[in-house]
Amino acid sequence: MLLLFCLSSALNAFHWIQYSSVANVVMRYYDVSAIYVNWSSMIFMAVYVPLVFPATWLLEKKGLRIAMIIGVLMSALGSWMKLLSLDRDKFLVGFLAQFIIGSAQMFTLSLPARLAGLWFDSSQVSTACAIGVSSNQLGIALSFLIPPIVVRDSEDYTQIRSDLQYLFIMMAVPTTLLLILVYFFFEASPPAPPSLAQLSAREREKGRGTSYSTVLKTLITNKDYVLLMLSYGLNVGVFYAYSTLLNQLFLIHFPNGQTEAGQIGLTLIIGGMWGSVVWGIVLDKTHMFRFFMNGYLTVAYEFAAELTYPLPESTSSGLLNAIGEALGVVLVLGAGIILDAKGDFPTNLLLSSVLILGLLISFFISGKKLQRLAASHVQS
């Protein structure tokens, strides 16, 4: 189950900066300005905020299997639709495909903690969550690496069209094959709960029908969870902004450095992947969530699940991501305006300041309310 989810998450995430990683070529080929290319990335963030609530509701009502099938189906549909955007006046079609694929991330981005909690016991749950998160980062890393290699910085529009066609097919075929695998092999949950905490959560769900609105109200009135949302949102928002604008930032100083910009992005993501996996393993051993907040993606999902247990992990993760996506849109727009008007130094200064603010907020989060861990210990 974890492998199928990882493949789904990686293939979906690849599309996020597929255009932004070759922004200079896309702007030339489709004759559009940087803001349009930036929006091909920001649409992933913009659609998440309004759609995360119905998506998490559907996940809780219908389960992981239905959510996965819908997510991979939408990713496959958007991938094939991009082949209709190869003409130079069809950028809007490609943007619509990005919208569909971005909507599909509702059913993958907030699932790692939920999947880990359902299928793995308490000694493995953080590691499983870390692997799930890293698969999303792997997709982004490949999107930094592959498009600049496949889509060459050429003045020949016929060559660019051919390169884009190859890139789009490269993603559409494996996503379609994955859809078949998910449909036949992905299961909603194991026959028996893998941990006492998960057993307790299932019994609570059966014993009382907590409404979705009640869950949301409980989450937003949890002070530590709200602080975690703000800290996570600021940190992830900066990551989104930097990833979206990296090609443009780098080419200011190195006009022919499209491939090198992609390699820098790859290095950025690989570092984050190692951090996610390492801190996931460490968390399974120590449960020191507050101390290890620098492995932010994995830790935030698991920390949120601990702070809000026994509420559904997908809802707590979904709200975390919603804040990150919303702040990502704001930071991409703001940083993009500053980059165009003032250059790269003020842009980097803004993003660094936001990171510092996120760090300061994290100091006020309590590290002592590990409710899911406590449930496992009490029942053992």
Q: Is 0.75 topped by the overall pTM?
A: yes
**pLDDT-wise least confident of 22-36, 313-327, 344-358:** 313-327
Superfamily of domain 2-379: MFS general substrate transporter like domains (1.20.1250.20)
Q: What is the pLDDT of residues 106-151, one digit of tens each?
A: 888 777 777 887 888 777 777 887 788 888 888 999 999 999 999 9
- Tokens 């997709």 found at: 139
pLDDT band at 331 (very low <50, low <70, confident <90, very high): very high
Q: What is the pLDDT of residues 336-362, one digit of tens each?
A: 999 999 999 999 999 999 999 998 998
How far is Cα 292 from Cα 279, in angstroms, rounded to an integer? 7
Where do the structural domains in the chain lie, given as residue ranges? 2-379
How far is Cα 133 from Cα 62, in angstroms, rounded to an integer? 22
Q: How many C-beta atoms lie closer than 10 Å to residue 58's C-beta?
A: 16
E strand or H helix at 274: helix 258-286
Q: How far is CA 196 from the centre of its chain?
A: 29
Report the SS3 class of residue 138.
Answer: helix
How far is Cα 123 from Cα 2, in angstroms, rounded to an integer? 16
338 or 253, which is more confident? 338
DSSP state of 21: G
Give me the amino acid identity at 233.
G
For 343: left if phi > 0, alpha if psi spans -120 to 50, otherwise beta; the answer is: left
Report the SS3 class of residue 328.
Answer: helix
Q: Which residues contact 55 (CB under 8 A, 6 or more apart)?
A: 67, 106, 107, 110, 318
Q: What's the pLDDT score for residue 292?
A: 40
Q: Which residues contact 40 (CB under 8 A, 6 or more apart)?
A: 18, 19, 20, 26, 94, 95, 98
Q: Over the Cα atoms of the chain, what is R_g?
A: 20
How far is Cα 206 from Cα 282, in angstroms, rounded to an integer? 33
